[in-house]
Homo-oligomer: A and B are copies of this chain.
């Protein structure tokens, strides 16, 4: 997953004559529409609120090479001479596997297999492979259709007294389970995609929420902030909120109008 945030260079853009704007927008809309419909990983655009950017691009692809290709293709579009990248986020979609991991570990230990032995690793790998297959559509999701998106990166704290990484697995599993119960109450109204970025970007996880009513972002995150795992162990980065802009409507936004229902 790659999130890209861009600011529009309005002054330069507005100086173009209408025909140039049309040609440039047509070229961009054609290229991005293909990305929206790409079978092996889709893209979507959102019109951001506030100064952190004017446009958010969200890209799903099945390799870093493909994400790198997306970046390079976009940078070649004439439209990108009128966009300035303000930030970005690189991550990989993740499944929350605490419960199955705890079960797997317990069963291996019961069977007397020594942790981190070759046998242990082989068994774990096999379980993970089965899960990856079973949950392929969650690991390689389609772009959710909702109108609003909220994105933020986060860490689990490693403080002097409060340290997620020194908690026993079972305790982490218990807190994540409780946390999941809140999320489940919002299942119908918010689509949540968790992606991991340890080793890839400056926070440990990225959270991308999709909803048709943006107020539910606030309700969900506020309610979760009282969960033990969030209240005590979560550190949050910047928040980005945007309204979806289908590629074919880029001209509307760059013409100064918001996307209506």
A189 to B6: give the CA distance in the assembly, Å.
Answer: 36
Residue in B52, B72, B232 whose CB lies within 8 Å of A253: B72
Does A126 make an interface contact (CB < 8 A)? no
User: Contact between A257 and B222 (Cβ–Cβ < 8 Å)?
Assistant: no
In the complex, whether A39 has a CB less than 8 A from a CB of chain B is no
Query: Does A89 make an interface contact (CB < 8 A)?
Result: yes
A241 part of interface (Cβ distance < 8 Å): yes
Please name all residues of chain B whose beta carbon is closer than 8 Å to the beta carbon of A72 when the two chains form the complex.
47, 253, 256-258
Complex contact B200–A75 (CB within 8 A): no
| Chain B min CB distance to A250 (Å) | 12
Given known contacts A50-B89, A158-B232, A65 and B198 CB-to-CB distance under 8 angstroms? no
Selected contact of A199 from candidates B80, B121, B217, B232, CB within 8 Å: B217
CA distance A49 to B67 in the complex (A): 8
Nearest chain B residue, comparing its CB with the CB of A66: B258
User: In the docked arrangement, what's the CA distance between A198 and B81, Å?
Assistant: 33
Count identical subunits in the complex.
Answer: 5
Within 8 A of B (CB), among A185-240: 185, 196-202, 209, 214-215, 217-218, 220-222, 225-226, 228, 230-232, 234, 238-239
Interface segment out of the listed A7-15, A96-104, A106-114: A7-15
Of B69, B80, B199, the contact of A221 (CB 8 Å cutoff): B199
When chains A and B are docked, how far (Å) is the Cα of A255 from the Cα of B80?
14
- Chain B residue nearest to A260 (CB atoms) is B65
Q: How far is the CB of A210 from chain B (nearest CB, A)?
A: 13
CB distance from A226 to the nearest CB of B (A): 5
CB distance from A152 to the nearest CB of B (A): 8
- A51-B4, A64-B243, A69-B257 are contacts. A159–B158 as well, Cβ < 8 Å? no
Is there a chain B Cβ closer than 8 Å to A38's Cβ? no
How many angstroms between the C-alpha atoms of A5 and B72 in the bound complex? 17
Output the least CB separation between A149 and chain B (Å).
11
**A255: chain B residues within 8 A (beta carbon):** 76
Interface residues of A (CB under 8 A from B): 2, 4-5, 8, 10-11, 14, 47, 49-52, 54, 64-69, 71-73, 75-76, 80-81, 85-90, 92, 116, 121, 148, 150, 152, 158-163, 165-166, 185, 196-202, 209, 214-215, 217-218, 220-222, 225-226, 228, 230-232, 234, 238-239, 241, 243, 253, 255-261
Closest CB pairs A-B (n = 7):
A76-B256, A165-B231, A69-B258, A199-B217, A51-B88, A50-B88, A199-B221
